[in-house]
Amino acid sequence: MTRLARPSRRVSLAGLLTAALLATPLIATTTPAAAQPQAASTPALIPKPVSQQALDGQDFTLKPWSIVGVASSAKESRAARKVADQLTAQLRRSTGYPLPVIPLVPGVADVKLSTNGPASLGAEGYQLRVDRSAVSVTAATPEGLYRGVTTLRQLLPAKADAARRQTGPWRVAGTTIADSPRYGYRGAMLDVSRHFFSVTEVKRYIDLISLYKLNKLHLHLSDDQGWRIQVDSWPRLTTYGGSLEVNGTPGGSYTKADFAEIVRYAADHYLTVIPEIDTPGHTNAALASYADLNCDGVAPPLYTGTDVGFSSLCVGKDITYSFLDDVFREVAQQAPGDVIHLGGDEAHSTPHSDYLTFVPKAAALVTKQHKRVMGWQEIAETPLPAGSIAQYWGTDDARSQELARKAAAQGAQVVMSPANRAYLDMKYDDSTPYGQDWAGLVDVKTAYDWNPSTLVPDLPESAVAGVEAPIWTETLDDLDKLEYMAFPRLPGVAELGWSQASALDWTAYKDRLGAQGSRWDILSVNFYRAPEINWR
Ligand code: TNX
């Protein structure tokens, strides 16, 4: 244990180095890369942090005797400790080192994790410093610490993410990083209705999206082809309405225990689950399960095709609202986040005047559960409760843009999911083996090269809550296909959500993206090796 005694000189040396860096920002930032060859370990982070400076000659190496120290308030100690445990659990697998976690004692720990940073860092912000003596991640909350540890994972060699023991060295290039997100809403949506995905598969998707600092997991839980969440007061929704999926293969649904497991796993990855019950269209699975929900009292058959816009709840019937009251109550109980998504898209079989009647009534049933209303952009046609969120899915068309402005004009926030950029189910090019192309072909550059705050003309920047990358699964029936469509595009949308507008640059991003390839190989991600990216 003698190695624990560190010369205090090192601390002041580190302080001097920081001071020197701060005093010479022009030299530090304008030296041409060519004149100063970058070390092989130069970290390529996605999303790009707000600021990052190299500390040359200050590489840190994780050693078999390294110790992880955690500092936090008593109130946050469990959550902070959990972040440390997640990091060390993975690093123990790949390095084989014991990596004990202890309460932080200054000068003892090699990896220092603290939630005692200043509140000015914000809930998700963090500072990270790597020098010869230690790695420190400092945040004001456990969530900020988690984001910082996510960065640390990317700073480590890719093989640190391996499931089995690898050989070192476990070197991290010296650096200082200060970071916080541009937007509070950074989501991914998974359609588990068209094709059902098991709890294990959803967890894998969570593992992958959380690497890029997303904080919302929107689950599209009901549609024409299947109802996927248990509602005790309407059991046939899942027993019958969830029995199939597209092409007639067996579907499935989440029991309350299953859903709780997803919510917990998402929360452990600092992702809030946003449950979507799509209404009044996209409801064939419910209409098939309960004849009384239909205007004519006749239940349609289950549907396993891929058309949209043919089903509608019966807006004039009282049972429609007692049904939704029960559904939103039980869904609210299962999803602790503050938002419920009520769909509202493509209600082509709902007369327009009915749509205008329906949405405010459905929205009131959501707010009755003390949840904020989220819905696809069409809901902006109707008056929305305070705190609502409209999800833009336009393709630069005037009508969608108008809906986004209408949402903002009534005080709602807008989440940007432009179908011709952020839809991960669009084909990359015309040789992509699955996916759709109704919104166009979306190559890696197209998915990245846009600005969420200026996409819709005359939409106030303050109305933009963030971004979301949806993946619809009409043509995607397994995890390999999901991964192929999401990677490498999803990290680009994640960067749009996190990084400052001034940091967005396709040429530089493309290079950082190429460096993710080795990590995805280690994680066995079935990513599309887009030919325009230099994978390594
Ligand atoms: C449109 S965009 C839909 C979904 C489909 C998707 C396929 C939107 C809100 N609805 O019902 O699955 O296109 O790309």
Give distance in angstroms: CA of 274 to centre of ligand 1.
17
383 and 487: one domain? Answer: yes
Q: What is the dihedral sign for C-alpha 113, 114, 115, 119? A: negative
Atom of ligand 1 minimally distant from the CA of 194: 12
471 and 393, same domain (yes or no): yes
pLDDT at 105: 85
What's the mean per-residue pLDDT of the chain? 93
CATH number of domain containing 261: 3.20.20.80
Cα 309 from Cα 316, distance rounded (Å): 19
Q: What percent of the chain has pLDDT over 70?
A: 92
Q: Cα of 419 to ligand 1 centre, how many Å?
A: 9
| Closest ligand 1 atom to Cα of 306 | 12
Q: Does residue 249 share a domain with residue 146?
A: no
135 shares its domain with 195:
no
Ligand 1: which atom is nearest the Cα of residue 425? 14
Which amino acid, 146?
A: Y
Residue 53 counted as domain residue? yes
| 473 CA closest ligand 1 atom index | 12
The residue whose CA has the least distance to atom 9 of ligand 1 is 345
On whether residue 97 sits in a domain, the answer given is yes
Ligand 1 pocket residues where CB is under 6 Å? 308, 345-346, 376, 393, 419, 423, 425, 436, 472, 474
pTM of the predicted structure, to 2 decimals: 0.92
List Cβ neighbours of 293 (8 Å cut-off, separation of 6 or more).
283, 286, 287, 313, 314, 317, 319, 320, 323
Interatomic CA distance for residues 43 and 55, integer angstroms:
12
Residue 42 is predicted with a pLDDT of 56
- Pick the range with the lowest mean pLDDT from 4-13, 455-464, 498-507: 4-13
Q: Check whether residue 330 and residue 476 sit in a common domain.
A: yes
| 12 has a pLDDT exceeding 60 | no
Tell me which of 225, 346, 389 to substitute to probe ligand 1's pocket, judged by most ligand atoms within 8 Å of the beta carbon.
346
> Which atom number of ligand 1 is nearest to the Cα of residue 436?
14
In a domain, 21, yes or no: no
Same domain, 271 and 411: yes
Closest residue by CA, ligand 1 atom 4: 472
Whether residue 8 lies inside any domain: the answer is: no
Q: Are residues 138 and 233 in the same domain?
A: no
- Average pLDDT estimate for 51-65: 97
Q: Which residue has the tokens 């990677």?
A: 487
CA dist 23 and 53 (Å) reads: 13
* pLDDT tens by residue, 121-140: 999 999 999 999 999 999 99
Q: Residue 495: which of 266, 217, 209, 271 has the closest Cα?
A: 209
* Residue from 468, 472, 474 to probe ligand 1 pocket by mutation (most atoms less than 8 Å from CB): 472
| 486 CA → ligand 1 middle, Å | 16
126 CA → ligand 1 middle, Å: 36
Mean pLDDT of the region 56-80: 97
Nearest CA to ligand 1 atom 11: 308
Instruction: Please identify, by atom number, the ligand 1 atom nearest to the C-alpha of residue 393.
Output: 2
- Out of 179, 194, 225, a domain closes at 179
331 occurs within a structural domain: yes
Domain boundary pick from 139, 161, 179? 179
Q: Does residue 378 have an active-site annotation? A: no
Residue nearest to atom 10 of ligand 1 (CA): 345
Quickly state the pLDDT bin for 106 (edges 50, 70, 90). Answer: confident
Q: Are residues 377 and 408 both part of a single domain?
A: yes
pLDDT tier at 107, thresholds 50, 70, 90: confident
pLDDT of amino acid 49: 98
Radius of gyration of the chain (CA): 24
- Could you tell me the sign of the dihedral formed by the alpha carbons of 29, 34, 39, 42, in that order? positive
What is the count of structural domains for the chain? 2
CA of 472 to the centre of ligand 1 (A): 7
- Of 76, 124, 201, 346, which is the active-site residue? 346
Co-location of 147 and 64 in the same domain:
yes
- The answer as to whether 7 is a domain residue is no
Considering 122, 144, 179, which residue would you say is the last residue of a domain?
A: 179
- Domain co-membership, 102 together with 224: no
Residues 352 and 421 in one domain: yes
Give the pLDDT confidence of 140-161 residue by residue, as tens digits. Answer: 999 999 999 999 999 999 999 9
The pLDDT value given to residue 44: 87
Answer whether residue 115 shows pLDDT above 80.
yes
The CATH number of residue 117's host domain is: 3.30.379.10
- Give the model confidence (pLDDT) of 26-50 as tens digits: 223 333 333 333 443 457 899 999 9
Task: Please report where in the chains the tokens 């950029």 appear, as a residue.
Answer: 421
CA of residue 347 to ligand 1 center, whole Å: 11
Distance 193 CA to ligand 1 centre (A): 12
Higher-confidence residue of 41 and 513: namely: 513
Residue 18 lies in a domain: no
Both 452 and 361 in a single domain? yes
Instruction: Name the residue of 308, 342, 416, 476 to mutate for ligand 1: max ligand atoms within 8 A of Cβ.
Output: 308
pLDDT tens per residue, range 349-382: 999 999 999 999 999 999 999 999 999 999 999 9
> Would 422 be classed as within a structural domain?
yes
3-state secondary structure of 214: coil
Question: Does residue 11 contact residue 106 with C-beta atoms inside 8 Å?
Answer: no
Q: What integer pLDDT is reported at residue 154 of this predicted model? A: 97
Task: Tell me the residue range of the domain where 100 lies.
Answer: 40-179
